[in-house]
Each structure stands twice: as structure tokens, then as C-alpha cells.
A = this chain, B = another copy of it.
Amino acid sequence: MLHEEVVGRIRAILLDGEIPPGARIPERELCERLQISRTPLREALKVLAAEGLVQLLPHRGSRAAKLTDKDMRDLFEVCQGLEALAGELACERISDAEIGAIATAHDEMVRHYRDGDLIQYYRGNRAIHEAIVSAAGNPALTGVYASVTARIRRARYVTPMTPQRWALAVKEHEAILNALQRRDGAGLSHILRAHLRHKREEVLQAGFAETDASDLTLRIA
């Protein structure tokens, strides 16, 4: 299925920041690069627009969605609510095996933290949150969560992190794992809300919305 493939590839291009937020998406160029015609490309762009990753301007083409400060805050709030819900549901349904897998991922993430490897830490962090959402056993929730996090992802990866905040995040993750193991839904929901709130503060403090991806890649490096 060409169309699905195309959506995935363009999404990856956008999430990698290869086309920075606010930049025009050159149809012609992408067609050549992906070796497809404009029809499936345009279909893919409309799907991505529905997902919120692309802005469509009438007769003026499409742009990589540029999120304002407020947009980021809003998305984080939704993300927070979804993760809290996922945590509660997960506590009711999660299996011992799933808890074990999350514990393993947690240990790995802590290892990356000790190594000071921020990129790998973020990867592990994301894996844990996705595992919790997955453990909720609710595909509709998983889908909505994926859509919301996709829009935030770039910002989340590039926020500069102070040692204090990083240490706090790790501590919170320990509490999250603990609540999961105790299957304490209400407690987990509470922790997840606090966790997200702290993450949100990071992002806003970084003033992400004023920058664009070209800066961000530099910041990562």
C-alpha cells in the first residue's frame, strides 16, 4: 500500500525535523525523492493535516505545522490527561509480564541517565510511557495518544534539561514504576499528572515555540 507507506515516510521526515516547523513542503521535490506522483503524496499530506502535523493553506500549499507556545501547552495538557487515564486503566489490567518489561525498560533508562546519555534516556523514557499506555489495553487510547505525542515529540526531545530536573524526572519514574507494581491506579494517576506538569514546565521555559528545528538540531548536537 503506497499511500500508507508515504504517510509514514513523510511523518518521519517531519518528526526528524528535516522539514522544520513552518517551512513549506515542496510537493515536487518530495515526489521525486519518494518516486511517486502527486496524487498519493497529496493524499498523505491531507491525512497528516488531519493529524495536525501539517497545515494546509488554500492555493498556497502545505507547511510543516508550527506550534505556538500555547499549542504546546495545550497538547501537554491533553497528553497529561491521557497518560493519567492510561495509568489508571493499566493498574486494573496490566499483567506481571508487562510490569516486568516496564521494570526492565526503567532500569535501562536509569543506566542511560547514569551514563549521561540524554538521547538514549529520552528514548527509554518514551518507551516506558508508551508501554503504560499499551498496558491500558485500549487501542483507541493508544491511537489518540500516538497522535498527540507525535505533535509534541520534536519539542520533547530537544528541551535542555538541568541536572536537577533530570534527577527529579528519574525519581518520579521510580515512583511511577512503584505505583504500577502496587497497581495503585489513583496514586499512579496523581504521579503521572505531576510528572507531565514538570515536563511541561521544561518545555515552556525552553521557549520552544520561538525557535525552529534548524536551531534544535544544533542544540542536540
Contact with B along A117-157 (1 / 0, CB 8 A): 00000000000000000000011110110011000000000
Q: Is the CB of A144 within 8 A of B46?
A: no
Q: Which residues of A from 71 to 96 have beta carbons under 8 Å from B?
A: 71, 74-75, 77-78, 80-82, 84-85, 89
A202 within 8 Å of B by Cβ?
no
A39 within 8 Å of B by Cβ?
yes
A197 within 8 Å of B by Cβ?
no
Enumerate chain A interface residues (CB-CB to B < 8 A): 1, 3, 39, 42-43, 46-47, 49-52, 58, 71, 74-75, 77-78, 80-82, 84-85, 89, 138-141, 143-144, 147-148
Q: Tell me the minimal C-beta distance from A92 to chain B in angstroms.
A: 11
A-B contact pairs, 19 of them (CB 8 A): A1-B58, A39-B39, A42-B43, A46-B46, A47-B47, A50-B50, A52-B140, A52-B143, A71-B139, A74-B139, A74-B140, A74-B141, A77-B138, A78-B138, A80-B85, A81-B81, A81-B82, A81-B141, A84-B85
Task: Select from chain B the residue with minimum beta-carbon distance to A77.
Answer: B138
Q: Is the CB of B141 within 8 A of A78?
A: yes
Cα distance, A54 to B55, chains bound together (Å):
22
| CB neighbours of A138 from chain B (8 A) | 74, 77-78
* Cross-interface CB contact of A46 among B47, B85, B89, cutoff 8 Å: B47
Given contacts A43-B46, A52-B143, A58-B1, contact A85 B77 (CB under 8 A): yes
Q: Is the CB of B148 within 8 A of A71?
A: no
| CB neighbours of A52 from chain B (8 A) | 140, 143
Task: Select from chain B the residue with minimum beta-carbon distance to A137.
Answer: B74
| CB neighbours of A144 from chain B (8 A) | 78, 144, 147-148
Cα distance, A140 to B80, chains bound together (Å):
12
List 10 additional A-B contacts (Cβ < 8 Å) besides A47-B49, A50-B51, A74-B139.
A43-B46, A47-B47, A71-B139, A74-B141, A75-B140, A77-B138, A78-B140, A80-B85, A140-B148, A144-B148
| CB neighbours of A58 from chain B (8 A) | 1
